[in-house]
Every structure is written in structure tokens, then in C-alpha cells.
Structure 1
Amino acid sequence: MEKIKILIVEDEMIIGANIALQLTNLGYDVLGVIPRAEEVLPKIHQTLPDILLLDIYLKGDLDGIELAHIIQKEFNIPIIYLTANADEAHFNRAKTTNPYAFISKPFKKLDLQHAIELTILRIQEEKKSEINELETFVMSDSIFIRSHDKMIKVNINDILYIEAERNYCKIHCKDKEHLIVSTLKDLEEKLNVKNLMRIHRSFIINMHHIDEIATSHLVIAKKAIPVSSELKKQLLLHIQKV
């Protein structure tokens, strides 16, 4: 795995150097210690840190909170504030930037380590959420399905039927199967396509690929799929319209 890249913004260079040493010993990639607010954005453009350790009380025209607002207009970088005796007013201002943690100076090595580790854990959880949100998305004639680190296009006309497997769905196509993280109910809401119909609590079928319709089931690609009498009536009405 690549090392987590951390940029330190601290105008007391002895403190900054000490933090950098501790982080390096913990196995992180320290991109530098920046004492002045105006030097931070160029450094971020150059190095793209994963985490920003930012002192609230910076010397100069901008304090750390004002700098954070400027950074967040362009970058989505998790911020951990370094602070010495922050009063309520500064704390409330800092909260508006949604920091991942606060570390009060002077701090112990373990405080720093825990703040970084919790931030990394939160980053990982947020990335998982983003992946789940992008697990599938639907166009008028196709559905994009996540496969490892890419999205694969599946034509809706090629879908034979979709089968529920707990919190997963297996999409059966003419020549391939795709397993996605989704309940059948959620997928049904996304797939608002007239030739796809849910005929059972565990199945959505493509009406264009029905080979047989029997009393209590239908057949698609040699697969017998159960259907209730009520849903069968709805299915026959839909087929007449398709």
C-alpha cells in the first residue's frame, strides 16, 4: 500500500519538525512543514496530500480556519486542527470546516497517532460509501455495473432476468452473469424500464426473453421462474402493451 501523505502547516518550526519526525517514525509520508498560509495552496497543488495537519493560530493575515475555508473551495482534504487552548469562539468557527479531529498542544505521540488513525479509518469508510453509491447507475437503455475498479456497461435488452441473493443481486445476461451489491427492491426502483418486471420477491424478468408461461411459473433460458397468479395477470397485461 502507498504511504499516507501528510502535510503539516505549523508556524512554530520546532513543533512542526517534532510532529514531522513522529509521523515519519509512524510510517507516514510527511510532505513538509509549511509556516505561512500563502505557501500552502501551491504545495497542495504540487503534492496532493491525503491529510492536512493545520495549526489554528497561524501568524500573518490568515489563521488556520480562514485558510481551511480557502482550501475547501478547491480541494476535499481531511483536516486535523492543531490548537493551543482554543476558546469557544475559535472552536465554533473551526467546526464550520468539518474537521476530522482536534489535537490540543502540547500533545503526546499517542494523541497524534490516534487522531491520524481515526482519520484514515473515516476516509476509508467514506470511500466505501462512495463506491456503494456508484455500485450501479441506470440509463434509458443500459445499466452500468461496478466490477473491481471500473464500471461495465450492460445493455438492458441483454438482461434475461435478475435474481435476489440476500443483499446481492445476480444479473443474468445472455452470455454472462454480474453480481452487484444491492437488494432487489433498490434495484427495481432504479430500473424503471417497461420491459423489466418483478414477478416474484426474488426475481425481476425481461419480458422480451420469456420462452414459456405455465400455470405457476415461466421459463427464460431454460430457467423456471415462479410467478403468482396475481402477478401473472399483470404480466400478461404488460406483455400485450410491450
Structure 2
Amino acid sequence: MARIYIVEDEPIIRQDLVFCVEDMGHEVIGQSGKFEKAHDEILSKKPDLTLLDVNLDSDKDGIDLGEILHQAKISFIYITSYYDKATVDRAKHTFPAAYVIKPFDEQDLKINIDLALMKLKKAGGFSSNKLFVKNNQDLVAVAPREIIYVEADDNYCKVHTDKGKFMLAHTLKKTEEKLMDKGFIRIHKSYLINFERIDIITEGMVHLDEVHLPIGKAYKTQLQEFLFTI
């Protein structure tokens, strides 16, 4: 669960964002449509992520606030109806985590929030790459690179590794939370994959070693964000 602050000058849209964020399981720690109030509360509360409208009911706009948040190392996503070249050029120099165009789709918003939070976790680093999975009464050490993919199995999940398969007594969502900062990405409601183990991506499929897994429509955009092509 992340602590999220919402900056939006339209009360109806702001409330809609609150509902969306809370439905995703996150906490809304504050909201405002005013530059000064948002500025003071965000710097004081230090949210994990800010959803930031470009147009504000103030002399300064959301991009002015975005510049301040960037300097304060507070991650933010622009949510705006403005996508003209001048506005986008101003916005990109504040280094937002994403730029979502209104009217936004809830699934698109969720994907962009998940990606922003994933980047935050990755930037924070971790002390050890070694993981442990339970095998009967033993704990087996597994490096993230040895995990090929994780498969949902009702309220359990199967971890497919170079050392064999292991059953975990919790859901794929819970496993995703533990692995998202270690190079893993959800490609389907039933599959979490090790990005480094991808060999080929074809239309609607990801190939990892000898395994071929489908890409869910809801996760296609998220996967594309991770791809670097030359």
C-alpha cells in the first residue's frame, strides 16, 4: 500500500481519483486544488507518490509544482487534458514518473501508478539478492535470476526455478509485492515473470527458455514500458 496525495482543481474529478486510488488499495493522505496548500502539505507529509493536475486554481500551475517535487525527490504523475507540444515540453523537464491524459481509464491509471511505485522500490535498492522458499521443512536459497516465472494456483502460487518447482502458501499478488523490485513483472492475471529470462516476445506471447506464456490485455502496456528496443 502506498501513501498518495492528489492535486486536482476539479472537485468531481478529484473525488473520482480518490475513489480509484482507494479501490487500488492505496491510502490517500491528502488532496487539494490549490498550489499553495498542495505545496505545503506535500512537502510536509512526503507522500510516496503524487497525482498532479497541470491546471490549478492558482497563479502557478502543476508543472511549477512538479519542478519543486522533482527537486524534493518526491515522485509524481501528471494527470491532465493538456497534451500540446509546449505543455509536454515543459512537463518532461520536471521528470514525472508518467503523463496520463484525461479522460483517464482506471486500468491505465492503475498501470501507471504501479509502474511509478515499482521504479521507486527499484531506486531504493535492497541489501541482499538471496531469497528463500520453503520446501517441506527446509528453506531453499534461490537467487532472483534462478526464478523463471511464478504461476497463480488459486490462493497459492507455483515458483518455477532452475532448481525445480516450489509451492508458496500465498497469492500471486502477495508474491508480486515481494518480487517487483527484483526485476519481475506481471504479464497476465496468472503469471509473474523474470524480465531477464525473456528470450523472445511474439504477438501476445512471452517466451522464457522453453516456456511460452500469454500476455494479458490489461498488462500489455505495462510490459511495453519496460522494453528497450534498438
Shorter-chain TM-score bucket reads: 0.5 to 0.7
Superposition RMSD in Å: 2.0
Alpha-carbon deviation of 1:126?
A: 1.1
Paired position in structure 1 for 2:108:
111
SS at match of 1:8: strand
Partner of 1:160: none
Name the CA shift for 1:6/1:59 in 2 (closer, same or farther; >3 Å): same
Paired with 2:15 and 2:36, the residues of 1 have a C-alpha distance of: 19
Aligned length: 130
Aligned to 2:120: 123
**1:38-92 Cα distance to aligned partner (Å, 9 max, x none):** 011221243210001000111221011111112333x211110011032101001
d(CA) in 2 for partners of 1:147 and 1:115?
27
Identity %: 35
SS of the counterpart of 1:76? Answer: coil
Q: Distance in 2 between matches of 1:99 and 1:39?
A: 20
Matches within 5 A, 1:160-239: none
- Partner amino acid, structure 2, of 1:30: V
Query: Whole-Å Cα distance in 1 between the matches of residues 114 and 55 of structure 2?
Result: 24
TM superposition outliers: structure 1 runs of 4+ over 2 Å: 70-73
With the length of structure 2 as denominator, give the TM-score of the two structures.
0.53
- 8 Å Cα contact 2:70/2:95 also seen in 1: no
- Measure, in 2, the Cα distance between the counterparts of 1:105 and 1:14: 13
Deviations 1:132-187 (A, max 9, x none): xxxxxxxxxxxxxx689xxxxxxxxxxxxxxxxxxxxxxxxxxxxxxxxxxxxxxx
Alignment of 1:1-242 (within 5 A): 3-73=1-71, 75-128=72-125
Between 1 and 2, higher relative CO (CA 8 Å, sep ≥ 6) is seen in: 2
Which one has the largest radius of gyration? 1
2:178 corresponds in structure 1 to: none
CA distance in 2, matches of 1:63, 1:41: 11
Cα distance between partner residues in 2 of 1:116 and 1:96 = 20
Partner SS, residue 73 of structure 2:
coil
TM-score normalised by length of structure 1: 0.50
Asked if the contact 2:9/2:33 (under 8 Å) is kept, the reply is yes
Assess if the C-alpha contact under 8 Å between 2:69 and 2:76 holds in 1: no
| Deviations 1:1-60, CA, capped at 9 Å, x for gaps | xx2000000000100000101110110001122110001122124321000100011122
1:221 aligns with: none
- Which deviations, in whole Å up to 9, do the C-alpha atoms of 1:93-137 show, x marking residues without a partner? 100011110111001110111010111111111112xx5xxxxxx
Instruction: Give structure 2 stretches of 5+ with no counterpart.
Output: 130-230
Rate the CA distance shift 1:84–1:42 in 2: closer, same or farther, 3 A.
same
* Secondary structure at the counterpart of residue 19 of structure 2: helix
